[in-house]
């Protein structure tokens, strides 16, 4: 991957100056600055310390503390309503878009406060991309979908190459190279989802967040996306929310299990992190009985 600082500098030299003038800095950390390291000692991409997320003052998740490592696929699993998606959306400040949402605690991204006053949420979402449950291509051509991000960022040089690289990265190139100008809606569901992944990686992010990316796909398309995740983690860090236990077991390196906690009156419920460990451990010998019951499907 190109050094991000260079790329921003090459394509939009005025940006840093404009941001400085606006009194805010782009998030300082750049993906190219990190060295790959042994799995056990990989650097932390995210450090969550006592994260609470509240909607209109009501907690949706409470007290989440965990580290997410570079070049890992980290899976968030748990029953409906346990706050997996809420937690995922914290990681690229998508919750900013909900006026009543509030994030408490400390969330560090490469050691820097992700919610710090000088951090630009737009830059955050460029570095930390997201793929949603339902494929959501723009009503444009395949080419324009992938070129969308780079164009907005002012990266118009070598656009053809950027689009091809992103489509190859998303294992879609061979299927669409002869119809790049065709409408994205003409693709199958699985192809659309890979197009969304291509659109995401075209802006060379550092992290890809995936919110149940395969729940609308058939097993063949699911298999392709899962293979893709294993390819992509060489370059990116991936956090995935999934309801499919076996998918978490197949693709992830670490798994976090969240569950719903109720107050004494059972009036309020919120998500709580129960166990976070290597995926192999979670699926062969989890430490917590509640994790065991959930991954074995013994409780509803």
Partner 1 sequence: MAPAETRVHYQEDLEQLEASALGGLDLVTGALGRTMEAVEHQDVELAQLVIADDDRIDGRYLEVHQALITLLATQSPVATDLRLISALLHVLKNIERMGDQCVNVCKLLPLSGNEPPADEQMVKRILTMGGQAKTLISQAKRAFEGRDVELAHDLVRQDDVVDNLNRECFRLALEIGDDADKREWAMTMLLAARAIERIGDNAVDIGEQVAFVVTGLFREFEDASRPGEAPSQSPLT
Residues that bind partner 1 (CB under 8 A): 245-246, 249, 262, 266, 283-286, 291-293, 295-300
Nearest CA among 93, 96, 119 for reference residue 25 = 119
Nearest approach, Cβ of 123 to partner 1 (angstroms)?
Answer: 40
Quick check: helix, strand or coil at residue 96? helix
Query: Which residue number, 135 or 271, has a Cβ lying nearer to partner 1?
Result: 271
Nearest approach, Cβ of 296 to partner 1 (angstroms)?
Answer: 5
Cα separation, 291 vs 281, whole angstroms: 11
Nearest approach, Cβ of 108 to partner 1 (angstroms)?
Answer: 32
Q: Which residues neighbour 83 within 8 Å (Cβ) at sequence distance 6 or greater?
A: 53, 60, 61, 258, 270, 271
Nearest approach, Cβ of 249 to partner 1 (angstroms)?
Answer: 7
Q: What are phi and psi of 240, to 5 degrees?
A: -125, 135
Residue 256 in tokens: 């976090």
Query: Which residue number, 122 or 262, has a Cβ lying nearer to partner 1?
Result: 262
Q: Which residues neighbour 213 within 8 Å (Cβ) at sequence distance 6 or greater?
A: 131, 132, 133, 193, 197, 225, 240
Query: Which residue number, 24 or 290, has a Cβ lying nearer to partner 1?
Result: 290
Nearest approach, Cβ of 294 to partner 1 (angstroms)?
Answer: 9
Query: Which residue number, 19 or 288, has a Cβ lying nearer to partner 1?
Result: 288
Query: Which residue number, 77 or 184, has a Cβ lying nearer to partner 1?
Result: 77
């Amino acid at each position: 991957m190109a050094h991000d600082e260079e790329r921003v500098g090459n394509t939009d030299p005025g940006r840093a100056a404009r941001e400085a003038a606006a009194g805010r800095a782009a998030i300082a950390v750049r993906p190219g600055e990190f060295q790959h390291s042994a799995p056990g000692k990989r650097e932390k991409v995210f450090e969550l310390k006592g994260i609470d997320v509240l909607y209109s003052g009501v907690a949706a998740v409470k007290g989440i503390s965990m580290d997410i490592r570079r070049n890992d696929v980290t899976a968030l699993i748990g029953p409906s309503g346990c706050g997996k998606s809420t937690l995922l959306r914290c990681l690229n400040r998508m919750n900013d878009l909900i006026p009543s949402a509030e994030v408490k605690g400390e969330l560090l991204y490469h050691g820097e406060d992700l919610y710090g006053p000088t951090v630009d949420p737009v830059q955050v979402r460029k570095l930390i991309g997201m793929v949603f449950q339902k494929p959501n291509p723009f009503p444009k051509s395949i080419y324009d979908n992938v070129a969308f991000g780079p164009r907005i960022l002012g990266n118009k040089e070598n656009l053809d190459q950027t689009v091809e690289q992103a489509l190859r990265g998303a294992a879609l190139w061979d299927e669409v190279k002869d119809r790049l100008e065709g409408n994205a809606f003409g693709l199958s569901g699985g192809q659309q989802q890979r197009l969304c992944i291509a659109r995401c990686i075209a802006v060379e992010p550092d992290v890809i967040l995936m919110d149940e990316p395969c729940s609308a796909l058939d097993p063949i398309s699911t298999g392709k996306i899962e293979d893709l995740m294993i390819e992509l983690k060489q370059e990116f860090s991936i956090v995935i929310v999934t309801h499919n236990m076996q998918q978490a077991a197949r693709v992830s390196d670490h798994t976090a299990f969240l569950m719903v906690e109720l107050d004494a009156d059972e009036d309020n419920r919120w998500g709580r992190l129960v166990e976070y460990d290597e995926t192999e451990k979670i699926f062969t010998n989890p430490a917590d009985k509640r994790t065991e019951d959930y991954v074995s499907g013994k409780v509803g």
